Structure 1
Amino acid sequence: MNSYTSREGLELALEIIKQSPKQEGSVKLIVCRPSVDQRKVLEVGELSLEEGLLGDNWKQRELTRSKNGMVKVDNQLNLMNSRVIEAITTDKEQWQLAGDQFYVDFDLSYENTPPGAQLLIGNAIIEVTEEPHLGCKKFADRFGMDAVKFVNSEQGKQLNLRGINAKIIKPGLVKVGSIIKKI
């Protein structure tokens, strides 16, 4: 049985979330999605320009295709602030259910990491993309409607509480504990 944090509890966590590192933070969890609804926690992830996170099914996902069938790289990677998911569920085993590949202790707000911002993550470089990352039906099923309303609120969108999309600029390795920082 999943236990969800109430909207009031999530609102109380906002001050802790807002204290996330703005210049340099760390990678707390890496999750590969080999197929739909499957998760594999990794200690080390390899980022490839063509494949995204190796072993992840990013290229096979419906949202990855444009109307003309071409693969869109703007959502190669999904990152979520670890303080947000920790506020939603204190059970770290459930974090991976959010569907992101990287959970980072880092300020992912629009102000701190606008589209075009480049981040060093491990020894790879990624770029924040324009496409918003919003809570969906699966997110609601897994974490409740209070969590969806929280991350999709006006403030939640400005803070990118649901996370960000990014594309890989320079391939490399990312380990749990690696630094993530603005460049």
Structure 2
Amino acid sequence: MRSQALLDIARSAPKREGVLKLIVLRLPGEGRSLPESARLSPGLGLEGDRWGLKADRVLSAEVSLMNARFIEAAAERPERRGLSGDNLVVDLDLSVENLPPGSRLRVGEALLELSGHPHHGCSKFQRHYGREVRELVDSPEGVSLRLRGVYARIVEGGLVRLGDALMTEPSRSSEGPPRPA
């Protein structure tokens, strides 16, 4: 069954250190641009992405990440990987078990903090990847593995490039209480 194969592929991603495989800028309408580098900016998201144009921006969803192994298999053709619209396609296990909300990831010059803001498959996602894949990402196991991706806020902005390493960093909660300035 295709669903089981996709689950197995997603689970095979590395747990602690990953790689940025694809950068996706969502353009007005449904257009996409796949640059080799881009800048992440707190409050603006991925510069050039249409998220920054929204009046009702949710800061815990400034940028979205998706498991590269999963979307490469689900897309079936390389040119379809960016259709999901997730900004950073990464070879890293994004599951809730591996990276709970509040987890921090260093990618290039930027630092991201994963949110608990839900990310679900929609009719556009189904149109691009099919009903079976949309149902899989919205299943309890798919949600736990974050197959549809995960939102993050930008803690520190900076340049990111294809091939940049992703490293987990201690979350604020594991660092203890904030120190006065």
TM-score, reference length from structure 2: 0.89
Q: For 1:98 and 1:72, locate their aligned partners in 2 and report how far apart those are by CA, in whole Å.
A: 19
Residue 134 of structure 2, aligned match among 145, 148, 171: 148
Report the RMSD for the aligned CA atoms in angstroms.
1.2
| Residues 46-55 or 9-18, more deviating | 9-18
Is the CA contact (8 Å cut-off) linking 1:10 and 1:87 kept in structure 2?
A: no
User: CA offsets, 1:42-82, max 9 Å, x none?
Assistant: 10010111211111110334xx72xxxxx321111011001
Gaps of 5+ in 2: 170-181
Give the fraction of aligned pairs with identical amino acids, expressed as a percent: 38
Q: How does 1:80-95 map to 2 (within 5 A)?
A: 80-95=66-81
Q: Displacement, 1:11?
A: 1.2
Q: Which residue of 2 aligns with 1:38?
A: 31
C-alpha displacement of 1:9: 1.5
2:40 is matched with 47
Are the counterparts in 2 of residues 88 and 143 from structure 1 also a CA contact under 8 Å? yes
Q: Does the aligned pair in 1 maintain the 2:6–2:74 contact within 8 Å?
A: no
Residue identity matched to 1:96 = G
Equivalent residues, number = 169
Task: Give the corresponding residue for 2:13.
Answer: 20
2:58 paired with 1:72: yes
CA distance in 2, matches of 1:73, 1:36: 22
- On the 8 A contact 2:46/2:52 being kept in 1, the answer is no
The one-letter amino acid of 2:112's match is I
Q: Which moved more, 1:102-111 or 1:45-54?
A: 45-54
